[in-house]
Every structure is written in C-alpha cells, then in structure tokens.
Structure 1
Amino acid sequence: MAANTLTSILLASTNPDKLRAWYVQALEPDVDADQDKYAVLGFGGFYVLIDSREDIGDSNPEPGRVLLNFEVADARAVVERLDAAGTTWLAGLEDRDGSLFATAIDPDGNYVQIIELSEEHRAAMEAG
C-alpha cells in the first residue's frame, strides 16, 4: 500500500496577486507558474497554491492555526529581503541554540516561519 503524501497547501486570498508577489520576493520559489485559476509556487517538491476566493475576509482571523515553515540556507538574507518588502514580524530573528528562527506575517495575515537549522540540530533530528 502506498503511503499518503502531503504535497501542497492552498492559500485562499482576496488579493492573490499581492500575496503571490510577496512569496516570490521573500522566498524565491523554484517553481513560479500561473495556472488558469491559481498560482503555483514550488519549494523543494512542496507547492503553495494561491487562489482567489470571495467567501473569505481580507485577513486571516486566526493565523496561529497553521504556520508555514520554510527551512532556508541563509535566514539573515531572507529576513533582509522581507524587511525590504516592508514585512511585519510576529517574532524577529533569534538564535535558538545555534538554529535561527523568525516569524513573519504575510500580506493576508498568515504566519510564516523562517528557519535555518544548525548542523547539530539537523543531525539530532535525523538521528530520531
């Protein structure tokens, strides 16, 4: 029996063009494609789909329910790009035992974590 695989998440927005532009500028996806109805942004085999919806508000009323975690090679560089884009921060960049973490708020109010794991932290996770 094949294992279930999580491959994507859909972010609904009243302003999908603005949301897409933020993710492209901030996180430089390896895939950036427009479909007929939605944008597809690829991040290492996982996809963020951004679609227009009229049955939602302009901002996420409970952004703590789902956080998008992006592991990056250079958290400081990503934070600089986000700062240049005028991003609001829930939590600024901090060092947690050698790993770097920050939580940004995207244009729709969703929480987006930027994570740069230390080699020691990664090894411990892989060891289980």
Structure 2
Amino acid sequence: MINSILLSSTAPERLRDWYASAFGVATERTPGEPGYDVLDFDGFYVMLDRRDDVGSANPEPGRVILNVEVEDARGTARRLDEIGTRWLAPLEDRDGSWFATAVDPDGNYVQLIQLSEKMKAEMS
C-alpha cells in the first residue's frame, strides 16, 4: 500500500508553507535529525526533505503529478490565486467535474480535482 510521497527540495519550508496555505492541511515535524516536514492529506502523507543534490526547480515536472481531490475546486483555485500561484492549466469544468493544474514553488505540478457525483458513482 502506498501511503506517502517524499518531495525533496532546496527549500522545504517554502513548500510546506505553500501546501499548508493552498490546501489547509495539517503539518508536523518528525523528531530527530534530519527530520521531515509532513503534510497530512487525510491519511496520505507528503513528506518534505531538504537535499543538496537537487536543483531549486524541478526540470521535469510532468514526471510525477500530485493529484489533490478537493471539495470546492473554485474556492481552492481562488485561494491559490491569492497566494500568487502559477497555473499550468486553469480551472475548467469537464462534464460537471472540475480540473486544474497548479505549479508549486519548486515547479512540481499539482492537479486539483473535484469529481461530480455522477463521476464518483460511475467509478464505484
């Protein structure tokens, strides 16, 4: 079972602050050194690690895309606009489901998803 992902960064605090502001997720710091900032997306954990063997921006951001299912895509998109987020693909309605792709401060792609009730029913 996959339950987490590790994002390495030259500035993990910047990522932590962006994700916490963008999605209102709880953050905590693991004990010990080096320690990680951990973002809790309802039981899926994004761990942020400081590394000096990565660049300050992801050169291939399409390789891994974080999908974040939200209850209110329009509200989340407004919050992302308020914090100055750059968009790869703006929010759009696709047959009642909402999708957008934001770019986090390290250049990683983050896809917002709000599935319609019809789509959720078809998937279950």
TM-score, length-scaled by structure 1: 0.93
Counterpart check, 1:23 vs 2:13:
no
Q: What residue is the counterpart of 2:102 in the other structure? A: 104
Deviation at 1:44, TM superposition (A): 1.1
Q: What residue is the counterpart of 1:95 in the other structure? A: 93
Aligned-CA RMSD value: 0.7
Deviation at 1:32, TM superposition (A): 1.1
Aligned mates of 1:53, 1:113 — CA distance in 2: 24
Give the share of equivalent positions with the same residue, in percent. 59
Aligned mates of 1:39, 1:8 — CA distance in 2: 12
Deviation at 1:86, TM superposition (A): 0.3
Structure 1 segments of 4+ aligned residues over 4 angstroms from their partners: none
AA partner of residue 14 (structure 2): K
Counterpart check, 1:9 vs 2:5:
yes
Q: What residue is the counterpart of 1:32 in the other structure? A: 27
Q: What residue is the counterpart of 1:123 in the other structure? A: 121
TM-score, length-scaled by structure 2: 0.95
Aligned mates of 2:24, 2:109 — CA distance in 1: 17
Residue 82 of structure 2, aligned match among 81, 84, 87: 84
Aligned mates of 1:28, 1:72 — CA distance in 2: 11
Aligned mates of 1:68, 1:44 — CA distance in 2: 14
Q: Which runs of 5+ in 2 are unaligned?
A: none
AA partner of residue 77 (structure 1): G
